[in-house]
Amino acid sequence: MKTKLILIRHGQTHWNAQKKYCGFMDVGLSPKGKRQAEKLHRRLHCEKVHHVYASDRKRAVQTAQIVFKEFKIKKLKGLREMHFGCFEGLTHKQIMKKHRRVYQKWLNDPFNCKIPEGETLKSFKKRVAVALRKIVDDNPGKTVAVVFHGGAISIFITTLLKNKDFWKWIPSSTSMSVIEYENKKPKVVLLNDDSHIKKARKNG
């Protein structure tokens, strides 16, 4: 009996476009992000999905509501993006100006450097893993969509693949990654698929 998770990154926000760290900040979708979600809705409207979960942040909830219009969205705080502390709301350039030393240290060794006022990568990794494990345990044999954040998806999948280059792979906006569980063992069967966006660009 297989349990399937469809992991979806939320659509673009204005802060994403400006390359700002969002983290725990409750930022909604931009018009482009809403269009991305509509394209994913058209792609998935025939997919058999039993339940839909999302981070409780606006950008994730709004994406889930657009993609899965007929579903009641189950919100989980454990699916939130990493808390970037004093980096939140700032761009790379602004952080380099205000917090250069700690930022460089964190970029070079994110697992052992805690961002002031934020959370450690270790606690973030555990939080996301616990939330996803609960979803799997609560939905044996079902297909479940989970709409959340780029960093959260990245740290979960890179851990499954035993890849330590956490920041070198961040999923695209509204991309899909699929994990299948059989006998509680996970297998990555689709990774960062945003063909619905690329197809729309080609046809447009």
Active site residues: 10, 81
Looking only at the bridges linking them, the beta strands covering 176-182 and 185-193 are: antiparallel
Contact 56, 80 (CB under 8 A): yes
* Nearest C-alpha neighbor of 57 from the set 71, 77, 41: 77
Distance CA 89, CA 19 (A): 9
**Structure tokens, 197:** 């966006």
Distance CA 109, CA 194 (A): 30
Q: Is residue 40 classed as helix, strand or coil in its secondary structure?
A: helix
Helices and strands counted in the chain (H then E)? 7, 6
Instruction: Let me know the angle formed at the C-alpha of 89 by 149 and 37, rounded to the nearest 5 degrees.
Output: 35
**Structure tokens, 35:** 């269009």
